[in-house]
Structure formats: C-alpha cells, structure tokens
Amino acid sequence: MKALITGINGFVGSHLAEHLLEQQIEVAGTIRNHSTLQHIRHLLPDIHLYECELRDPQAVEQMMIEVRPDLIYHLAAQSFVPVSWDSPAETMINNILGQIHLLEAVRKLGLSSKVLIACSSEEYGQVEEDEVPVKETNPLRPISPYAVSKIAQNYLGYQYYKTFGQHIIRTRTFNHTGPRRGEQFVTSNFAKQIVEIEMGLKPPVLYVGNLDAQRDFTDVRDVVRAYRMALQYCEAGEIYNIASGQCHEIREVLQTLLGYSTATITIEEDKSRLRPSDVKVLVGDYSKFHKQTGWKPEISFEQSLEDLLRYWRTE
C-alpha cells in the first residue's frame, strides 16, 4: 500500500507520515521548491520526497506517474485564515488549482486511488447559537476567503466523485493543535510567546487578538489517526466532521497555557491581530465519523497544550 501526502513537510503532513509509517504503509510526499524540511528531517530515510509545485499541471502529472499512489491525503494548502484577506487571489489559486491538478492527474492516468480532501470547519462560518454542535448538514455561511476556497475544494471533490466515480472522501476538520503547530496559529503563537518570555528573549508582554472566539480543538495525533481511518472505512462521496465536540474560548487557551508557566506575564491586545470578520463559535458533532470508523479523540485539550509548550521549550 503506497500513500501520497501533499504538503508532507507541514504540521499535519509530518504527523501523518509518522503515523502511516508505523502502520507499515509506504509513504511518498510532495514539497514545494525551497520548502523547509524541519519537521520531516528524521523521516527522510523512510519516505520518498517529490519537489512538486501543485499549481503546475505537468509537474503534478509527472509526479503521479512516478508515485501511482493507492491512497492520497491532500493536505497542501494556504491554511492561515488572515493571509486569505491579504492575498485572497493567491489563496484561491493555491487551494483550488492544486486540487484540480491532482484530481485531473488521477483521472488522466486512470488511477483508482482513494483520495482524502482536507476541508475545514471554517466552511460553516457564521454558525447560529442553536446550531451547535454543528452537523455536516449545517448551512455553509463562509466569512473569509479561506473558507470560500475550502468550500470550492469540498465541492470539487464531490463533483469528481459524481462525474468520474473517483473514490473521494472529504473531512471537515475543526481546529487542531499539538507539537509542530505553525507559530502564526493561536495556540502555538501564545505558547511561543510564553517560552520567549520565560527565556528572557522578549519583554513579559503577551500579545493577543480576539479572546472571545470559541473553537473546538483536537490534537493533531488524533487527527492523523482519523485521516488514516477515513480512507480505510469511510464511504466515497461523503463528508465527515472531525472534531472533539468540546468548546473552548480562546481566553481559556491562554489561561491553560499560562497555568503551565511560572513567569509573570501581562496580556495586551494587539489590534493588528483582529480580523475583518471572525467566526464566533465552532463546535463539531463528529457522530457520523464515529459511527463509520469507531474513532474518537484520545488526547485531551490540556495534554495537547502542554505538549505544545514543551515543543517550544525544546525547539
């Protein structure tokens, strides 16, 4: 069994590669030109790496001719919501074109690969109070260009399943965190600031954005297990929420992380961290996925944050 992970050097990609190797699955992955290999350096002897720009259809087709994967985990994307306001066109091109080229390569080469498309809870957007925890059937009311790009990825997956019968499974993953989380995302950003303060690398002021937002966090190690199970057990053409079902205010993320530190820290709002529009609440109902696979999260919110802090302390 051979798996292809697009964006293998990313936060989720690196954890997924580790997990699939543990399951004796052969792993290939794509990176971009000049990508950092920091998260996968320890895996290099065991994986096949392809430098492949997904925006280039010929490059994707050539890579797919060489890999001919049984399983495709399509993770590569511009995944930071605020960047999508600064660069909406880039976000669309990156997230949508890359996927089209991948699915086109599967079609042209006549492959029967099972494909997982990493969609996002951000697609739900403006969720009403009486709609939580949200089910897959909830209306989509996107409020960021990133969310729109993910809805496009989602429906392209549906369309390729319907039109060409490709074995496509879409997962709508809610927020996830844990070791190696990119430093721009809230959990990692706060953890890194705490560690820099502890080490005397910056004054004892921790900058924050909107602390009122509520999110549903799953540990990345639970998420990659879910991705493996999705291609093992889920039905083609379907979409599944992957979530913990628990809601935390961002303020609580901050308090939990601060609870693991003895440093004296002042909190200050940084206006540049506020978004033109911010999804107020996201909590997911993952019962459809649980029913199909038996999956449930195993690593607690607190454990995940503690491990993240430990990661930054040893970086």
Residues lying near ligand GDD in the complex (CB under 6 A) are found at: 79, 81, 120-122, 174-175, 184-186, 189, 208-211, 213, 215, 250, 273, 275, 278, 282
- The residues facing 170 across adjacent strands are 117, 239
Q: Rounded to a whole number, what is the distance in angstroms from the first to the last CA of the chain?
A: 34
Smallest separation, CB 30 to ligand GDD (Å):
18
- Between 60 and 191, name the residue whose CB sits nearer to ligand GDD: 191
User: How many other C-beta atoms can be found within 10 angstroms of the C-beta atom of residue 266?
Assistant: 9
- Between 113 and 153, name the residue whose CB sits nearer to ligand GDD: 153
Spatial separation of the C-alpha atoms in residues 86 and 83, rounded to whole Å:
5
Smallest separation, CB 177 to ligand GDD (Å):
8
- Between 29 and 142, name the residue whose CB sits nearer to ligand GDD: 142
Smallest separation, CB 95 to ligand GDD (Å):
10
Smallest separation, CB 184 to ligand GDD (Å):
6
- Between 185 and 260, name the residue whose CB sits nearer to ligand GDD: 185
For 215-246, the DSSP string reads E--EEHHHHHHHHHHHHHHPPTT-EEEE--S-
Spatial separation of the C-alpha atoms in residues 310 and 315, rounded to whole Å:
9
- Between 80 and 164, name the residue whose CB sits nearer to ligand GDD: 80
Residue whose C-alpha is closest to residue 9's, from 73, 67, 62, 76: 76
- Between 66 and 212, name the residue whose CB sits nearer to ligand GDD: 212
Smallest separation, CB 254 to ligand GDD (Å):
8
Q: Where are the beta strands (DSSP E) in the chain?
A: 2-6, 26-31, 47-51, 71-74, 114-120, 167-173, 176-177, 205-208, 214-215, 218-219, 239-242, 248-249, 266-269
Smallest separation, CB 142 to ligand GDD (Å):
11
